[in-house]
Every structure is written in structure tokens, then in C-alpha cells.
Amino acid sequence: MTRSRLPLLMTPLGELELMNALRLRVFRKELDPGEIKAANAFFRRDVEAGIFALKPLSPGIFEQAKLLARRQTVALGTRTLDLLHVASALVLQADTLYTFDRQQEKLARTEGLKLA
């Protein structure tokens, strides 16, 4: 695995997806609530330590997402949340996008983002 430049940028959308993904793991009986509490505490410590930098979803991100939708959705079938994630990376000038979503990855590659 390559080293990433810190801080890693995260929007409230990314934070919500992380927190919801953890709770889905409880629903699926893959984690227990205590593990979620611990994971949340680790995440908060990482934010305080400067590993993650929380950045707002600015109006510019929504404008970029609309532009991406016009350019890419008909060809790629892109979902709105994927548009917002990729638009966030572009507007915040992230050097790398971290994703586990194949559709989001296709959009990011099409837009010239480096992926990890």
C-alpha cells in the first residue's frame, strides 16, 4: 500500500457513509454495538490528530456534481451520491480518491482522478 499525504479529506457525506456502513454491519450481525462505539472513538481521535480533515459540502461541490451529471450520467449511469463524492474530490483538489464503489471508480477515472 502506498503512503497517503495527510490529512485525508472527508466531507460530511463521507463521514455519514462511514458511520452508516458501520451500523449496517451491526444490522448484518457482523459487528456488535460496542465495536461501533470503539470505531467512532478511533475516528474522532484521528480527526483530532489531523489524520482526517473534515471539509464542508460547499455550493461549488453541488455545481461540480451537476456538471458531472450532465457530462457523465447518460454514459456511465452515475448515482447522485457518487457524483457528490467525485465532485468533492475535484473541488477540494484531492490528489487521490479512496473508494470501494465500482461505479464511483469509473466516474473518478473518467474525470482523471487518481484512485487508491
- The pLDDT, as a whole number, for residue 4 is 84
The DSSP symbol for 5 reads P
Report, as ranges of residue numbers, the positions in the chain whose pLDDT lies below 70. 1-2
Q: How is the chain split into domains, by residue range?
A: 8-54, 59-110
- Asked if the peptide bond before residue 33 counts as cis, ω within 30 degrees of 0, the response is no
Show the cell assigned to 7.
490529512
- The pLDDT, as a whole number, for residue 2 is 65
Which position has the grid cell 457530462? 71
The mean pLDDT of the chain is 96
Residue 22 falls in which region: left (phi positive, over 0), alpha (psi -120 to 50) or beta: alpha
- Give the pLDDT confidence of 94-116 residue by residue, as tens digits: 989 999 999 999 999 999 999 98
Spatial CB neighbours of 45, under 8 Å, sequence gap ≥ 6: none
Length of the chain: 116
